[in-house]
Structure 1
């Protein structure tokens, strides 16, 4: 069978979740597993975390129902709430929590008759300017829901635009707005995403929402002792399927973008943009061959790419190639390093791994 496989380390996932909890010991942590757990497999990741996670968060009803039908009974919050009024019946049936960010969602909830009150998180636009009520409108929404038998366990939530940045000025502006609002309403908060969980204790509320950090990626601009403790959950591993020597000046790949500066040994690796590996990977993008760093050379093709293995004496057909993650000898290639060479972020690489790449899970389910 084709050797490209995404290996998912469930023990690393649990480790990273516990690290999020340790960063904010006075908060409860929602494990964000939207977008199929950032490409790792939502149901499998939820099962692995079920004994530890206080709640899960997803983007939409379909993702929540998949978890419920897979046997997950842990609380699940819909981060974007409902997209149509008829979804409220599903929210009620599957005992989901929901965010509200628009007046029509509040109106729909107040016109609905759930079997039991639905936990509601009111989303505030504190400066991200995507979803949420303007701060000056929140008090009225809060009052409506506080008096409504349809709603329970009200929280305020928001999202930071720059929590990952070293420049904290805009983050502080958002925090100031949210702290004032929470004080006025005496409201519990859910604010901290992964970077805020790691770097901004002031944002830690009743709940935090770690996401990308659960999968081993550093969401901050710089490394910290906490980010250095993250473990990669996905190892995207393949093998060399062909080897050839090329003379100095010879081109490799479509368009001849890369030309050998000297006589070079070129390995062909199973894996390409048809699997989700980024076609924008530049010459020099790192991979591990038998645990040694080697540069990608030439444009990525649909099903394969090429690597200069001139410095790897033991490279043969069948040798291990790690596109990101942990090699068999223990060497680690950070997905964040790969993302920088592709002019993108780890989120797009992880969520972009396509279904034809099989996932293999390691470590016992919870």
Structure 2
């Protein structure tokens, strides 16, 4: 039989999370962000769960081709725009919308020969300082684009750097509103954190810009997959989000330790009293973080316990004492939920596991190894 580890993508959770994001911004249209192969879930696997979106936003042409191959005929947005001149040919052929964030991309458009004018999203650097035109140069960039026959409609966008923290979005929103005050075009501002933590931001921006009739697009990413964008300030359950991925395995051995005995490489955990431990078929070669220390939460048969010692390439150890004290019988093949949804319904947020490793749920999703079989469940 194959090694007993699987990941499951939950279509029902994707649909529920999409509904939750729509409820947070009921007057906005929704980009489902599926960059990085849908945050590690697989574009093809999440498509049915996210096809209720108004459009799909992603990074590169290969991902865009995959979305079109699935039969999607609605909007597809390249979040970083094109990288070279010939990319525009495929944008024309596949009817892709794309971000424009620098003068060089405008130059490419000006030199592009096409019968189909392009829909573009002009990006402002309102404080993130990654991509986009500075506010004082934004209008000039808009004017250049507006003069090109290769350009159809121009939408206006920016990206918040601190929507998940105490600084919030007010300063960037004010910069964006001032620089775009009388410019026409739809606005796209809010990521997952802004959509959930600042649900009136799109309306407030429109009022500041006196563009009440404009349609906004929100751009949720990680929240669609069931991770809280502001963990540990708030959990996924606080925001009404459901885990879209479960990583599960099984107990493949048990060991009884005496006080003073250790487990794993480096003897990183030593028992202080007699105890039973379980060995789980999951390690860092499966995408589970090697940096997870003793005490990282895990579910065994739906009950919460902890990891022990170092994570190995193919295995990790868990504490079975809480289950034995609860009267649970543990045997080879007992279910272990590394994150996500146990078979009887108990939940373990991916954010908790990521936090123990000093990282974010985003990284764990994207790091799922190719050797792990992935199932899709509704």
Q: Which moved more, 1:84-93 or 1:214-223?
A: 214-223
Q: What secondary structure does 1:201 align onto?
A: coil
Structure 1 residues 180, 224: closer, same or farther in 2, change over 3 A? farther
Q: State the distance in 1 between where 2:245 and 2:237 align.
A: 19
Q: State the distance in 2 between where 1:110 and 1:43 align.
A: 34
Query: Over residues 244-300 of structure 1, what are the superposed CA-to-partner deviations in whole Å (9 max), with x where a residue is unaligned?
Result: 101111111110111112111110101111011000001100000000111100110
For residue 229 of structure 1, the aligned residue among 240, 247, 271 is: 240
Moved over 6 A (4+): none
Corresponding residue for residue 290 of structure 2 = 279
State how 1:1-366 maps to structure 2 within 5 Å: 1-50=2-51, 52-168=52-168, 171-204=169-202, 206-221=216-231, 222-223=233-234, 227-313=238-324, 314-363=329-378
Structure 1 residues 200, 35: closer, same or farther in 2, change over 3 A? same
Q: State the distance in 2 between where 1:145 and 1:251 align.
A: 66
Corresponding residue for residue 206 of structure 2 = none
RMSD: 1.4
Structure 1 residue 352 displacement after superposition: 0.4
Q: What secondary structure does 2:99 align onto?
A: strand
Structure 1 residues 225, 59: closer, same or farther in 2, change over 3 A? closer
Q: What secondary structure does 2:249 align onto?
A: strand
Question: Any conservation in 1 of the 2:289–2:364 contact (CA below 8 Å)?
Answer: yes
Normalised to the residue count of structure 2, the TM-score between the two structures is 0.92
Q: State the distance in 2 between where 1:260 and 1:118 align.
A: 65
Structure 1 residue 80 displacement after superposition: 0.3
Q: State the distance in 1 between where 2:149 and 2:34 align.
A: 30
Structure 1 residues 226, 353: closer, same or farther in 2, change over 3 A? closer
Q: State the distance in 2 between where 1:225 and 1:262 align.
A: 36
Structure 1: any 5+ residue segments left out of the alignment? none
Question: Any conservation in 1 of the 2:293–2:307 contact (CA below 8 Å)?
Answer: yes
Q: What secondary structure does 1:311 align onto?
A: helix
Q: State the distance in 1 between where 2:189 and 2:323 align.
A: 47
Q: What secondary structure does 2:227 align onto?
A: coil
Q: State the distance in 1 between where 2:113 and 2:5 align.
A: 50
Query: Over residues 40-85 of structure 1, what are the superposed CA-to-partner deviations in whole Å (9 max), with x where a residue is unaligned?
Result: 11122123322x1100000111211122233332211000001111
Normalised to the residue count of structure 1, the TM-score between the two structures is 0.95
Query: Over residues 199-257 of structure 1, what are the superposed CA-to-partner deviations in whole Å (9 max), with x where a residue is unaligned?
Result: 11343261000000000111124227984411111011110001110111111111011
Question: Any conservation in 1 of the 2:262–2:271 contact (CA below 8 Å)?
Answer: yes
Corresponding residue for residue 210 of structure 2 = none
Q: What secondary structure does 1:148 align onto?
A: coil
Question: Any conservation in 2 of the 1:198–1:227 contact (CA below 8 Å)?
Answer: no
Structure 1 residues 140, 173: closer, same or farther in 2, change over 3 A? same
Structure 1 residue 127 displacement after superposition: 0.5
Question: Any conservation in 1 of the 2:11–2:377 contact (CA below 8 Å)?
Answer: yes
Structure 1 residue 154 displacement after superposition: 1.0
Q: Which moved more, 1:196-205 or 1:268-277?
A: 196-205
Q: State the distance in 1 between where 2:120 and 2:239 align.
A: 35
Q: What secondary structure does 2:80 align onto?
A: coil
